[in-house]
Amino acid sequence: VSRFEGITMAPPDPILGVSEAFKADNHELKLNLGVGAYRTEELQPYVLNVVKKADKLLLEKGENREYLPIEGLAAFNKVTAQLLFGADKPVIKQQRVATVQGLSGTGSLRLAAALIERYFPGAKVLISSPTWGNHKNIFNDAGVPWSEYRYYDPKTVGLDFEGMIADIKAAPEGSFILLHGCAHNPTGIDPTPEQWEIIADVIQEKNHVPFFDIAYQGFASGSLDADAASVRMFVARGMEVIAAQSYSKNLGLYAERIGAINVVCSSPEAAARVKSQLKRIARPMYSNPPVHGARIVANIVGDSALFNEWNTEMEMMAGRIKNVRHKLFDSLSSKDKSGKDWSFVLKQIGMFSFTGLNKAQCDNMTNKWHVYMTKDGRISLAGLSLAKCEYLADAIIDSYH
Ligand code: PLP
C-alpha cells in the first residue's frame, strides 16, 4: 500500500483542463476557445517575427548561462518598469519603483501575495467578481485573506460600477484592491477613464493599496501606452501601487515565464527596502528566474527597430481579434431572430468575450457543438477565426434558446 494513499485525485484546472478535454475530442469541427492564447486565422500558435529575430541575435552573441541575480536581469527590470510607467515619468527618474523579475504574471502575483502575507498580516485583498480563476488560488496558497467586490452585472452584461464602488468603500481601511489594468479577464469589460478616476478617489480616501494585474499591455488596444493609462493615472496621483506584469500575450512568450512585480513607493529608500524583501521571498521559492525571456524582452525594447516591429505585430494581433469580434457580432445579429441585443460583444475589449451563457448552456456548447470554453461563459476570441464565426454564432444561439 502506498504512502500516498491519503492523497486524493485533484480536480482538473478549470482553464487548462479545457485544453485537455479538447485534445480528447476527435470531431472535425471542434473549436478550442478555452485558454487565452493567440492563434492565427489558421488557428495555429504564433511566434512573433520580432521574437525570432531577437532569438537569432541572442544565439549569435552566445551569452553564458550563469545564474541571474535573485531580482533577475538588470536590463530587463529597467525596461519593464519604463514600459509600464512611462520612461519619462518622475516615478522612474526618482527611482521609486522596486522591480523584481518574476515567473511571468502568475509568479509575479505570487511574490506580491507573499509580501502582503508577511508585512500586512490580516490585510485583505479584494478581487473582482468574477475574476481570472487563478487569483483565488494564488491568494489562498499565499495565506492571504480575500473577498470579492461586485464587478459584472448580468442584466446589462456590463460593469456594475455602483456595486464596485460601494464594495471598495466598505472594505476595511488599508485593503489591497486587485484591479485588471486593461482587458478585464474574463469579462472584457473595463471601466471608462472617468470611472477609473472615481475608483482612484475611493481607494485614496480609504487608504487602500491599488494592486494592478496587467497581463495584456499593448495586446488589448494595440498601444502599450493606452493600455497602461489606468496604472499611470494612479501613479501620477502620487499613490503607492503594486503592479504585476506579464509578457505571455503581448510578446507571445507564454512558456518563457517572463514578467515582473513592481512596487511603487513614496521614496527611493522605501523602494530599496521593498526590493530587498521581495528578493528574500524569491530566494527560497525558486532561487532566481530564467534568463532567456528576460534577454528577449530587454533586447527588443532596447533596440528601436525591434521595438517598432514589436508594436506593429502587436497591432496586427489586436486587430485580428477586433475583426473576429465584429464578425461574431454580425453573425449573431443576422442569424438570431429573437431580437436579443448582442452589442455587448462589441463593447468588450481584449482577447475574451463574456457571453452570458450559464453552465448548462456552456455544456451544450461543448457536448453538442464541440466548442470548448470555460464554464463561466467566457470564450477566447484569440482562438477563433473569421471562417469559424458563423459556426460559433449557430452554437451560441442554439445554446441560448
Ligand atoms: N492575470 C490575468 C488576468 C491573466 O489573464 C493571465 C493569463 O491568462 C495572467 C495574469 C498570467 O499569465 P502568465 O502567468 O502566463 O503571465
Burial label, 135 (beta-carbon count in 10 A; 0-12, 13-18, 19+): buried
> With a 6 A CB cut-off, is 380 part of the ligand 1 pocket?
no
Which pLDDT belongs to residue 16? Answer: 81
Cβ neighbourhood burial of 158 (10 Å; 0-12, 13-18, 19+): middle
**Cβ-count burial of 206 within 10 angstroms (0-12 exposed, 13-18 middle, 19+ buried)?**
middle
Residue from 295, 210, 246 nearest 107 by CA: 246
Residue nearest to atom 8 of ligand 1 (CA): 36
* Cβ(364) – ligand 1 distance below 6 Å: no
Span 166-173, average pLDDT: 98
Q: What's the average model confidence in pLDDT over 213-225?
A: 95
The residues pairing with 97 across neighbouring beta strands, listed in sequence order, are: 264
Q: Is 245 in the pocket of ligand 1 (CB under 6 A)?
A: no
pLDDT interval class at 227 (50, 70, 90): very high
Q: Measure the CA dihedral 87/93/97/100, to 10°.
A: 60
Say if ligand 1 is within 6 A of residue 218 CB.
Answer: no
Mean pLDDT value of segment 247-269:
98
Q: How far is the CA of 185 from the centre of ligand 1 (A)?
A: 9
pLDDT at residue 13 is higher than 90: no
Q: How confident is the model at residue 370 (pLDDT cuts 50, 70, 90)?
A: very high
Query: How far, in Å, from the CA of 127 to the mean position of ligand 1?
Result: 15
- 249 CA from centroid of ligand 1 (Å): 8
Question: Is the confidence at residue 157, as pLDDT, over 90?
Answer: no
Q: 58 and 64 in contact (C-beta within 8 Å)?
A: no
Position 77 pLDDT exceeds 90: yes
Residues designated as active site: 132, 213, 249
Q: What is the Cβ-side half-sphere exposure of residue 138, based on CA atoms within 13 angstroms?
A: 23
ipTM of this complex prediction, to 2 decimal places: 0.99
Q: What is the mean pLDDT of the chain?
A: 96
Q: Tell me the three cell numbers of residue 68.
A: 541571474
Are 370 and 31 within 8 A, CB to CB? yes
pLDDT digits (tens, 9 = 90+) for 181-217: 999 999 999 999 999 999 999 999 999 999 999 999 9
- Which residue's alpha carbon is at the smallest distance from atom 6 of ligand 1? 215
- Mean pLDDT in residue range 152-176: 96
Q: Which atom of ligand 1 is least distant from the CA of 259?
A: 16
